[in-house]
Amino acid sequence: MGPRDEAWRARIAAQKQSGVSVKQFCAQQGLTEQSFYYWRKRLQAPASMRFALVEAEPRRGPAEHAALELVLTTGERLRISAGVDARTLQQVLEALRA
């Protein structure tokens, strides 16, 4: 991560803490909203996949053989069986990050 990334990360954090709208913050800082939103999206991309603990519930349907279930921030669920090949799982996770 370069100095430009760090500068934008600091700006995005400052806007969030300021409590003012993005439009107002950008006007105060001499930034364009387009740049702000571009960098916010760019810097959030790797972190857009978050993991959550899923409480055990009665097994039913295709989830019956799932050893692990990931719930993405989009609400989609990824069920991973106990016998999944590590390379396959790595490829799926890389595809989700793209």
> Per-residue pLDDT tens for 69-96?
777 666 677 777 777 777 777 777 777 6
Q: Specify whether 41 is located in the same domain as 70.
A: no
pLDDT band (50, 70, 90) for residue 51: low
54 domain-assigned:
no
The DSSP symbol for 65 reads G
Q: Which residues contact 5 (CB under 8 A, 6 or more apart)?
A: 43
83 domain-assigned:
yes
Q: Specify whether 36 is located in the same domain as 67.
A: no
pLDDT at 73: 66
Q: Using DSSP, state whether 91 is helix, strand or coil.
A: helix
Global pTM value = 0.45
Q: From residue 1, give the alpha-carbon distance in Å to each of 43, 77, 85.
A: 10, 30, 31
Mean pLDDT of 54-66: 55
Q: Which residues of 58-68 are buried (b: 16+ CB within 10 A; e: fewer)?
A: eeeeeeeebee
56 domain-assigned:
no
Q: Specify whether 65 is located in the same domain as 90.
A: yes
Mean predicted lDDT score pLDDT of the chain: 77
78 domain-assigned:
yes
